[in-house]
Structure 1
Amino acid sequence: MPVPIIGFVPQPTLEDAEMENTMSQHGMTGLSQLSVSINYTLWRNPGDRSDPVNLAELDEPTRRALDEPAPQPRPAWLIEMAERRRYPMLWEAVRTTWTRDASEFSTPTRLLIDHADHILMNQFREELGLGDMGIDRFISPLTEKTVNRDAVVTVEGVEMPALEIDTDPFVYAIGAELSSDTVLTAVVPRDALQHIRIEFARRHSATG
């Protein structure tokens, strides 16, 4: 990543899952855009991780698969990954996007809407009445008119102008232009908002 990766500020309710999602675009002269998204495990009661309130709502097949003993020994990383499925995840919650050459598709507004659409389409299919992936065409409820351009967000301890989508019933989204080539966006399910401080900083981890 040509620029620092941004994430939520450290807070007890969020645990960086150390699993990034990346997206890239290439043009005639090489890499033109790169995005890195951070996933988080959500702890509703971080003071007692054994509290059942921390568990995700799982369907019976998933719960049974997690509870059944493995037919053969598994490496520690695979065991840890399986155990994470017991807890709610904020998938691709915070995204840093670097763009080499600006275009209509790389504006902060466009990137914020695209990020929110991505989460809605992949995480809220049932709520939106969509069928299996690839069957029903997703029609975004978000447009430039749904974006509030008078928001403020704190990044690295400094307040800065931000864009905000606070009209969708399923997600809250916020973004900011960090520099001429870098945009921060974040999309959070509404039922998780009460547990999160919406503030950002450079990510410090083994991979970032």
Structure 2
Amino acid sequence: MEYGGTVPTDAPDPSIASEARLRSIPFPVFELRPQPAVTRTPITGFAEGSGPAGLTDMSVHLSYALWRVPEDHGDPRNERELDERTRRSIEEEPPWGRPPWLIEQARLHLYPMLWEATRTAWHASPDAERHSLSQQLVDHTNHVLRNSFREQLGIPAGPTRTTEWRVKPTAIAEASLEVDGEHRSAIHIDTDPFVYAVVFRVDEHTVSTNVFPRDSLPLLNLSLTTLV
């Protein structure tokens, strides 16, 4: 079903289909351990590729709203700084109304977002170089930096060939990560001023990469749990 212009007040909640697809993923998917400072957003991101033999790769991307005052989600200190136009677009109801699920999803934009912070990626035939732990961690980290920290990094709007801001494999070091209550061998990037990133191998085909804004770290328990 397609909608043009406005979303009818009786439009179906897309998070229902998103959650159903998430529950059907054929490999383990990991999320931040449920904790007071974060709420997983209702729409999951998916990406996949295919070839003559069928599915070649698939990834699941989870984002979270961050609560600076976890015990009271209504506390204004939870909100991020917004210009007046953006705030009105979130809070004011248009004359034609909005479905309840859209109102709730819009309100999440009042708060800091851990955008695509946890990613689980599966490859049918992993390439030793392109799909190595270090390369997947670097790729995810640069993806978050490019999309969430453009202003801080001085990346101009639109297409650009500048690469000075990118993290490199030389930034990677050994680490450990708690997963389902057990410590797993991992590697991380702990030298970037804007993000912290860590990855562990789930199995031969699957890895979990995780990239968090550095200023959110004091509020987070950096441990993962199996979602599905």
TM-score, length-scaled by structure 1 = 0.92
Query: Which residue, 26, 32, 56 being the options, matches 1:8?
Result: 32
Please name the residue that 1:125 is paired with. Answer: 150
1:50 aligns with 2:74: yes
Is the Cα–Cα contact under 8 Å of residues 197 and 211 in structure 2 kept in the other structure? yes
Query: Paired residue for 2:18?
Result: none
Separation in 1 of the partners of 2:88 and 2:102?
A: 17
Q: 1:189 aligns with which of 166, 189, 213?
A: 213
Q: Is the 8 A contact 2:39 2:66 kept in 1?
A: yes
Matching residue within 176, 199, 202 for 2:223: 199
Deviation digits for residues 33-90 of structure 1 (CA, Å, limit 9, x no counterpart)? 1110111111111111121110012123211322333121111111111111111111
Structure 2 SS opposite 1:56: coil
Q: CA deviation at 1:141?
A: 2.5
Q: Give the conservation status (yes or no) of the 8 Å contact 1:21–1:37.
A: yes
Measure how far apart 1:133 and its partner are. 3.3
| TM superposition shift of 1:138 | 4.6
* 2:131 match: 106
1:1-48 CA deviation, whole Å, 9 max, x = no partner?
221210011101111112111121223312111110111111111111
Q: Which amino acid aligns with 1:193?
A: L
1:109-188 matches, within 5 Å, as: 109-134=134-159, 136-139=160-163, 140-148=165-173, 150-188=174-212
> How far did residue 106 of structure 1 move?
1.1
5+ residue gaps, structure 1, are none
Task: Spell out structure 1 runs of 4+ moving beyond 3 A.
Answer: none
Q: Deviations over 1:156-203 (max 9, x none)?
A: 111111010011111100000111111011000011111111000011
- Percentage identity across paired residues of the two chains: 39
Aligned residue pairs, count: 202
Show structure 2 runs of 5+ residues with no match: 1-24
CA distance in 2 between partners of 1:138 and 1:51 (Å):
40
Query: Which structure has the highest helix share of the two?
Result: 2
**Higher strand share goes to which structure?**
1
User: Does the CA contact (< 8 Å) of 2:172 and 2:189 recur in 1?
Assistant: yes
1:29 corresponding residue in structure 2: 53
Is 2:125 the partner of 1:95?
no
The amino acid across from 2:136 in the alignment is L
8 Å CA contact retained: 1:38, 1:92 = yes
SS of equivalent to 1:83: helix
Contact map agreement 1:18 1:38 (CA 8 A) in 2: no
Measured in 2, the distance between the counterparts of 1:97 and 1:88 equals 25
Secondary structure of residue in 2 paired with 1:169: coil
- 1:61 is the counterpart of 2:85: yes
Report what 2:62 is aligned to: 38
Counterpart of 2:52 in structure 1: which amino acid? M
